[in-house]
Structure 1
Amino acid sequence: MYFPILKGKQNELIALRELSANISAQYIKPVIEPVRENISPLKRTIQQLAEHEIVPLVVINPSLGDYAGGEDLISSLLEGEEGAYLPCVKIKNPQDVAAISLFQSFDGRAAAYLESSVDRALVNIVNQSLYTLVNQTRVSSAAFAELRNKVVYSDCFKKEVKNSDYSEESLFSGMHAEYRRLDNVVGFGDFTILSEDYSESGGPAYVVAVHLSYINRDEYDAMHVRHFSSYDDRTPTNPGGKFMDALNKLVQYVHANPGKFTETTGLGEFFSLHGSRHYPGLGHVKKISIKHHIETTCSYIRER
């Protein structure tokens, strides 16, 4: 089972809504951390996912964006959507008393999202959860072994400070091919082609980069990301022209390497934009890359 972790920003939510009819609920459980005060887009997303029997995990005590306080401000706002989503409680560490108490109030009918270390007491508490999201590198091996119903997540995308810093290709992760070998692990998660680090918006784009995930069959099915970067004129002008330059490189490379990339609706959208010579904006471009990444990952799980 794949648990893509997304922030509740506009394009991430649109990506999930557009994918809802294309991916089976048996392969995916999105994790959504709300970051916007306007909860309506999140409600629409939950409702549309429910139409296809996909039940997302929603962080009810988010700590980012408009909800920086880390309190449960979401449950009351999602009144009426009970059953269509699974409450997920983010726990910073064993000293995060408020979050631990909030998790316990659900009597096991919630998921736990561990951000860092755990102690014995916290392990015993979260082992009542339906799912426990844990980064294997942030807890001891002994604690990891004791945790149940684990969803192993990590920040796999190597985000660069500037788009011009991206190499042609980078290793993403092999967890999609390896998680079944771990004890008490029921799924895996990542932040798609985004980073775990949260930012409201990017700076001016001197270079436009388009990210395209693929499974490298020659490297034991590890996932890689191919980066298609535009020319660099040392100015933030003409983002549309720079997008077309990056898109031309993407289309040429995909044509030159048949079968390398999974045929997804996301990839089809890139080809449609190339055919129409339309620039939809950088947020929309990111949304398409997210869709392709999620579809590629779910397609691999389905094959397995």
Structure 2
Amino acid sequence: MYHPYFRGKQFDLITIRETANLMASSNFVPIIEPVRETLNGLEKTLDAICDAKGKAIVIINPLYGDHSNDGQCISQLLREKYLSRINISAGILLHEGLSVAESLDYLNEHKDHNPCLVHAGFAEPKLLSEKIDVKINKNIFLEQHCGKLYRKHFKGCERVLIRDGFKKRRNADYPELEEFSDLHITFSEEDMDGFGDFLIVGDDYSIGGGPAYAVAIHITFIDENKDDVMYIYHFVSTTKDTPTDPAGKFGQALDKLINKLDNSNSHVYETRAILEFRALHNKGHFPGLGTVKKLSMIHHIETLSIYLQG
């Protein structure tokens, strides 16, 4: 049902590995777009998913990162190690620069890999749909690129809508609270079988961040008083005007998070990730910004798992 979309950086892959069992038991299917040259982390992640008896979709022609010009290494990995694993699917990213002929070539190359189409700005949906003669496992639509008219050309199999609920800003500019998404409630009204998002990272891709003038902790929650819409808290450090002392800024942001949890009806589930934030607060420990991002992503996955399991 839920399809979180990851760009395959280090802490994205660690997040998937650490939640592999939870996602498998919740029937969540991560989509992974590999962006790093080395595929060791991806292989470890797919092995963890297989061990958990879960499912995943791997983009074989990434738009971003080290494989954006040639994804053959990804295809080779799938052929050599995961061809017999029916739970690992090849995802073909249908972006603006891809032709119908190239799309069909990718489909034929990966027809034995339970191919999924990931629609992300493709220009010829009607023509492609008429020429496809390979069984498609799933159609996944990135909402900002795929309106209802586009989506009507691809029926007959499972369909998933991905919405980017995270509004990317400079850390210092985030508001304390804003709406994230209602797609977990409304996807069926969109004539979809499932939904997804880009977690608390967003669709915008960047190689790496600069100095942290401000540190922000992003925590999603579902508000039962507002039709179960998902919202997001942004806990931003008080200090915002210097690139130094990320540990101190994390402590400021974490104080705000713990204060919200302890002194108000925050609606935030006490997930494993939240317990880890509490432990960091008690120890006064800064684990690094990558781990902070990982914990926020894990909390997002845990929140949706708790909600969807009732």
Q: TM-score scaled to structure 1, two decimals? A: 0.93
Q: What are the Cα deviations for residues 54-76 of structure 1, in whole angstroms up to 9, with x where unaligned?
A: 11100111122111215433021
Asked if 1:123 corresponds to 2:132, the answer is no
Counterpart amino acid of 2:120?
A: E
Given that residues 176 and 188 in structure 1 are in contact (C-alpha distance below 8 angstroms), is that contact kept between their aligned partners in structure 2? yes
Deviation at 1:258, TM superposition (A): 4.6
Deviation at 1:140, TM superposition (A): 4.0
CA distance in 2, matches of 1:278, 1:132: 43
Superposed counterparts of 1:176-255, under 5 Å: 176-183=184-191, 185-255=192-262
Equivalent residue number for residue 118 of structure 2: 113
CA distance in 2, matches of 1:209, 1:70: 35
Counterpart amino acid of 1:89?
A: I
Identity across the alignment (%): 33
The 1:233–1:52 alpha-carbon spacing in structure 2 relative to 1, beyond 3 Å, is: closer
The root-mean-square deviation of aligned C-alpha atoms, in Å, is 1.9
Asked if 1:272 corresponds to 2:275, the answer is no
Q: Which moved more, 1:272-281 or 1:107-116?
A: 107-116
Q: Which moved more, 1:47-56 or 1:144-153?
A: 144-153
Asked if 1:100 corresponds to 2:83, the answer is no
The 1:13–1:265 alpha-carbon spacing in structure 2 relative to 1, beyond 3 Å, is: same
Q: TM-score scaled to structure 2, two decimals? A: 0.91
Asked if 1:143 corresponds to 2:143, the answer is no
Equivalent residue number for residue 153 of structure 1: 162
Superposed counterparts of 1:161-180, under 5 Å: 162-180=170-188
Asked if 1:73 corresponds to 2:73, the answer is yes
Unaligned runs of 5+ in 1: none
Q: What are the Cα deviations for residues 34-71 of structure 1, in whole angstroms up to 9, with x where unaligned?
A: 11111111111111111111111001111221112154
CA distance in 1, matches of 2:285, 2:133: 48
Counterpart amino acid of 2:125?
A: D
The 1:169–1:70 alpha-carbon spacing in structure 2 relative to 1, beyond 3 Å, is: farther
Unaligned runs of 5+ in 2: none
The 1:100–1:91 alpha-carbon spacing in structure 2 relative to 1, beyond 3 Å, is: farther
Q: Which moved more, 1:110-119 or 1:136-145?
A: 136-145
CA distance in 2, matches of 1:115, 1:23: 24
Number of equivalenced pairs: 301
SS in 2 for 1:64: coil
